[in-house]
Structure 1
């Protein structure tokens, strides 16, 4: 079933906003790209490589992630993990997220009651 293009656009915007938090939350433990895609997918969040890798590069350039190549795996892999700055920021982002969810629940509940 084909969705309304406006709905698709809005859903994409909402999704982009939550991907940063979802990725950072998974990178408290070191992971490489494919394992990150797999972990997120197992939790119900599908993300493709064309979205993930630019996001990882951006977060790294912002100083929130660190990465290193591992050559001892069967094939070379780049592993990512939160930097110390990312570790400081993650709890704050989680709190902001929780506040936004609470606010939206109140707004949507009010709409439902009217």
Structure 2
């Protein structure tokens, strides 16, 4: 595997691990899938619809998100919001993410 491809593979793996944290943090207010996708992309989080939608369904099944259908518009939309359990788990994940960032920075900055 060429070095550039190897680096990209690791970057993709690293990002994939952060998506749950990003979704839980983004859904403190209700969003439907496409609006969430746009909001995350505007925040600089590269995510595609074919990654986001299965993730939303999985997090809902795990009880980390709740959803409600809005049928008042011509096109029904499913709005997702983080649940209390999702808030708690998201906060724990954030603490660990920050701890890991600090630890990795120490490793690289200590010379």
TM-score under structure 1 length normalisation: 0.89
Q: Quote the Cα distance in structure 2 between the aligned partners of 1:32 and 1:107.
A: 40
Q: Quote the Cα distance in structure 1 between the aligned partners of 2:25 and 2:47.
A: 15
Whether the 8 Å contact between 1:37 and 1:46 is mirrored in structure 2 is no
Q: Quote the Cα distance in structure 1 between the aligned partners of 2:33 and 2:92.
A: 24
Question: Unaligned regions of 5+ residues in structure 1, if any?
Answer: none
Deviation per residue, 1:13-60 (Å, 9 max, x gap): 101011110011000111111111111111111211000001111111
Question: Unaligned regions of 5+ residues in structure 2, if any?
Answer: none
2:80 is paired with a residue of what secondary structure?
Answer: strand
Q: Quote the Cα distance in structure 1 between the aligned partners of 2:11 and 2:80.
A: 27
1:46 is paired with a residue of what secondary structure?
Answer: coil
Q: Quote the Cα distance in structure 2 between the aligned partners of 1:90 and 1:69.
A: 24
TM-score under structure 2 length normalisation: 0.91
2:52 is paired with a residue of what secondary structure?
Answer: helix
